[in-house]
Structure 1
Amino acid sequence: MADPTLDAAAETGDGEPEVPDVDLPSDAFDAVLDALADRAPSESLRFEGFTVARDDEGEYVLANGDHRAGLSERDLREALADRAAAVTDWYVFECVVGEFGPRRAFLRWIEDADGATVAARYAALAEGIERAWGELQITATLTDRGERRYDVRHADDADVPSEELDAYDDPLDARDLVTLDETGRYRPLKTAPSLAGGWVFPDLGPRDAYELVETIYPATVANWYREREGELDVTHWRETMARQSGIYGVIQTWDRGGGHEHVDWVAEACCDDSQCLKRREWQYDDDTDLDVDGGDGVFPCREPCSVVVSAARKWTRLESEHPRTYEFELTPSEKEQVEEIIDAVADGRIDDIREADTKDGANRYRARFLRAKLFDDEGNLGGVPTDPDEKS
C-alpha cells in the first residue's frame, strides 16, 4: 500500500522527482568497502540504478549504463558521492536496520521501499511520510545524511505541536504509557482502541522506532510479517479451548452441539473493530468459519486472546443456567429504553450521554426513573416467572 505522499512525489516534475541533496557519510562508504571485501572479485554489490565490484587487481568497477573500470578508492568515493541517495538507502536498510525479518519489512513498508524508487521516497521523506498503525501515527523523515528519523505519537495528537506533548526518547518508557486509558482505568488488552494520548517520541532511529511499536502493540509487527510471508500460524477456537485447563477447562464443555452460535456471540462481543484493533483470522475450526466479520485492522489476530478466553469462561457458566420465562409490564417506550440502555453500555457511550439529554433512553435520570418504578426495595427487577413453581 503506497502512501499518498509517495504517490504525489512520484508524479511531480518530468518523471522522477528531484532527489534532495544527501551527503555520503563515511560510515556508508566504509560499509560499501567492507561489503566488497567480503565478495569475490567481479561479484557485484547492487544499488538502485548501478552496481559496484572489485576487479582482480583490487581496483573498482562501476556499471550503470556506462562502464567505469580501474577506479581507485578515491575515485569510487567520488562516484558514490554523486549517487549518495542510492548508497545511503542501501546502507540504512542493509547495515543500520539489519537482517531480513519483521523489523526490516516494517520499516520498508512505512516508506513503500518495495514499490517506490529511491528518488520518490527521498522526495517524500523530505516532506515526511505518515503511516497509521493502530492508534499510532508514525512520521518518517530524512536527514541530510540519508538517515531515517521517526516521530511516533497518538493519532489524535497528529496536529499538536511536539512541545505541547510529553516527549520521550526511550522506547521502553511506553510500557507506562499503555497501562492506563485516558480515564485512568487499566487496559487489559493492549490492542484495544483505548490508548491514551498526550505524548510523543519525536526523534527515534529505525531500531528504536520498531521497538516502540512492538512495546505499544506487542507481536503485531511479527504477526503482520508472518502473514505477508504466508507463514501466519492460526490457532482456531476449538484447538485453543481444547488446551485450557484448571478453572478455564469448563470452556471445553461449551461445544457446538449442532451450531457455533455461542462462538459467534463471543467474537461479536470481543473482536469487533470497536473493541480490538486486530483483524481476527481465527475461526471456529479449520473447516468452520464464524458468521461474524473479523474486522479491518492492519495486523492479524492469530488465536483467541486471554481476554476472550476469560470472558468465554464466564459466559460458559452463565449459559449453563436453565432458562426461565419472566413476565414484565413495560410500556412500549420503556421497552425501547431498555434496548437503548443495553446498546449504550455495549458500545461504551454512557459517558457521552449528557445529563440534560433526557431524550436518550440511556440518560442517567431516565434510567434512575425506570429503576425507581420497576425495582423493589431489595434492588430486584419486579418481574415474576410465568411458571408459579419457579423462583425468580
Structure 2
Amino acid sequence: MTDVRDEQVDALLDRVAERPVELDGLRVTDDDDGYALETPDESHDGLSEPELREAVRSDHVVPYITNWYFWEEAIGRRGRHRRAFLRHAEAADEHPVPERYDALRSGLETEWGEVVVTATLGADGHRRYEIRHVDDAGVDHDELDAYHDPLSARELSTYDERGRYRPLRTAPSLVSGWVFPDLDGRDAVETLDTIYPASIANWNLEREGDLDVTHWRETAERQTGIYDVVEELPPDAVDWLAEACCVDSQCLKRREWQYDADHDLEADGGTGAFPCREPCSLVVAAARKWTKLEEEETRTYEFELTPSEKEQIEAIVDAVADDRIDEIREADVYEGANRYRTRFLRAKRFDEAGNLAGVATEPEEGHHDDHGDDGDRDDHGDDGDHDDHSDRDD
C-alpha cells in the first residue's frame, strides 16, 4: 500500500495556495468556500484544512496525491525531456493512476536501443529505475556487475565484447553483463544519455514536432578541409551510403535526414526508438572515402569461374556485409563464406600476388589494355601524385 507523507500534503497545500493543482485526474482548489478535492472516484467541496488533510489519506485518493508529488516536486518541469521520457516509461498519458500503480508494483519495461529500463513503485509513490542490457532480461542481479554511478555507463559503452573501441555509440554492439539496479529518475536518464548521447532530447523534440533535421546536402556543403570533397558524392551514392550505414543492423537510430528537404532517399531509415537528425561524423568520414572511389572509371575484367564459385563470392560479400562471419563454423563447408572453403577458392583461383584468376587490377606498364587504349588510364594511377586509395584515407 502506498502511503502519503506529511511533507507531501504540506507541499500540496503550499501549491494550492498559489494556484489550482491538476494532474492525471487529480484536481485540488482553494477558494472562499474552502478546499475542493476531486479524483475520478471521489469529490469533496468546502473542506477545511484538517478535513482536506484527512480526505487525501483516503485509499482512493492516496495514489493521486503521491503521483502528483512525484511528478511536480521530485521530478519537476525544468528538465522537460527527462520528464517526458520518464512519463513515457510508464505510459502516464495513456493509463489512469491506479492502473499504472498496479503495473508499477510488478515493474514496467521500456526498451531503449539495446537496453531495457524497468520502472517500479516505492512505498511513498517515488519511482525507482533499473537499467540493464536487453540480453540480460531475467538474469539475477547476482550474476551481473552492478553499477550505481551514471558515469560508469561511459566505460561500459566504450568497447564491444571483443574489447574493440566503439566509434559509434548507437551501433548494436553494446556489451552485456551489467546492471544499474536502483536509480532515481534523474540518474536513470543520465545513464541512458551516457550510453546513447542526446537520444532522449532528440526523441522528445521529435515528439513535440521541434526536431531540427539537417539533410545530407546541407551537411555536405558545410564540410571543410579534407572532408569538403563529400559534396561531390552523387545522389545515388548517398542512397548506397545510407543503405550501408544507416539501417537497424548497423545503427539503432532511426534516420530522419534525407538527401535534401525535397528529395527523399530510397534506403530504409530503420525502426529505432530515437531519431537521427543529421549524418554523423562516421558517415561523413566514410563518405569521403566513397567520394574518391566513385571517381574511378569502370573497367571490364574477364574471369573464369564455375557457377558455384561465382555464388560463393556473392555469399562472402553478403556474410561480411551482414557481419555473419563469426557465425559460420569450420565444419559448415556448405556455406559459401566458410573459412576452409574460402581458402580453397583462394588456392585455386588467386595467383601469388593475390590477383583473382591471375588478372591484375592495373595493367603492367607499357602493356596495351585489351579493354581500352593506352590513354584510358585511371586518374588515380602512378602519375607521380599520391594514391588516393591508400590507407591514409581510411
**So what's the TM-score if we normalise by structure 1?**
0.88
Deviations 1:271-324 (A, max 9, x none): 111001111111111111111111111111111111110100011111112221
| In the alignment, structure 1 residue 223 sits paired with structure 2 residue 234 | no
Q: Which position in structure 2 is the counterpart of 1:324?
A: 299
Deviations 1:198-244 (A, max 9, x none): 00001111111111111111111111101111111111110100000
Q: C-alpha distance in 2, partners of 1:157/1:50?
A: 38
| In the alignment, structure 1 residue 299 sits paired with structure 2 residue 278 | no
- How far the C-alpha of 1:386 sits from its partner, in A, is 4.4
1:312 to 246, 270, 287: 287
| Conserved? CA contact 1:166–1:200, under 8 Å | yes
2:3 to 18, 23, 43: 23
Amino acid at match of 2:169: K
- How far the C-alpha of 1:375 sits from its partner, in A, is 2.1
| In the alignment, structure 1 residue 52 sits paired with structure 2 residue 28 | yes
Amino acid at match of 1:184: G
Q: CA 1:49 to 1:264, structure 2 compared with 1: closer, same or farther past 3 Å?
A: closer
Q: Which position in structure 2 is the counterpart of 1:38?
A: 18
- How far the C-alpha of 1:371 sits from its partner, in A, is 1.4
Amino acid at match of 1:95: E
| In the alignment, structure 1 residue 85 sits paired with structure 2 residue 69 | no
Q: CA 1:199 to 1:63, structure 2 compared with 1: closer, same or farther past 3 Å?
A: closer
* Pairing of 1:63-74 with structure 2 (within 5 A): 63=38, 66-72=43-49, 74=50
Q: Which position in structure 2 is the counterpart of 1:380?
A: 355
2:138 to 159, 173, 177: 159
Q: Which position in structure 2 is the counterpart of 1:204?
A: 183
* Pairing of 1:222-371 with structure 2 (within 5 A): 222-255=201-234, 260-371=235-346
Deviations 1:99-146 (A, max 9, x none): 162111110011110110001100100111111111111111101111
- How far the C-alpha of 1:55 sits from its partner, in A, is 3.4
Q: C-alpha distance in 2, partners of 1:377/1:48?
A: 74
Amino acid at match of 1:24: V
The SS at the match of 1:203 is strand
- How far the C-alpha of 1:377 sits from its partner, in A, is 1.8
Q: C-alpha distance in 1, partners of 2:69/2:298?
A: 67
Amino acid at match of 1:201: F
The SS at the match of 1:326 is coil
- How far the C-alpha of 1:56 sits from its partner, in A, is 4.4
- How far the C-alpha of 1:368 sits from its partner, in A, is 1.2
| Conserved? CA contact 2:25–2:96, under 8 Å | no
Amino acid at match of 1:79: A
Q: Which position in structure 2 is the counterpart of 1:62?
A: 37
Q: C-alpha distance in 1, partners of 2:247/2:38?
A: 54
| In the alignment, structure 1 residue 99 sits paired with structure 2 residue 83 | no
Amino acid at match of 1:247: I
| Conserved? CA contact 1:154–1:197, under 8 Å | yes
Q: C-alpha distance in 2, partners of 1:366/1:29?
A: 74
What's the RMSD between the two structures over aligned residues?
1.8
1:195 to 161, 170, 174: 174
| Conserved? CA contact 1:62–1:69, under 8 Å | no
* Pairing of 1:104-143 with structure 2 (within 5 A): 104-143=83-122
The SS at the match of 1:141 is strand
The SS at the match of 1:238 is helix
Q: C-alpha distance in 2, partners of 1:225/1:290?
A: 24
How many residues align? The count is 362
- How far the C-alpha of 1:63 sits from its partner, in A, is 4.3
Q: C-alpha distance in 2, partners of 1:383/1:291?
A: 35
Q: C-alpha distance in 2, partners of 1:322/1:295?
A: 32
Q: C-alpha distance in 2, partners of 1:33/1:195?
A: 47
Amino acid at match of 2:52: L
The structure with higher relative contact order (CA 8 Å, sep 6+) is 1
**So what's the TM-score if we normalise by structure 2?**
0.88
> Which moved further from structure 2: 364-373 or 116-125?
364-373
Query: What is the percentage of aligned positions where both structures have the same residue?
Result: 59
Q: C-alpha distance in 1, partners of 2:289/2:198?
A: 27
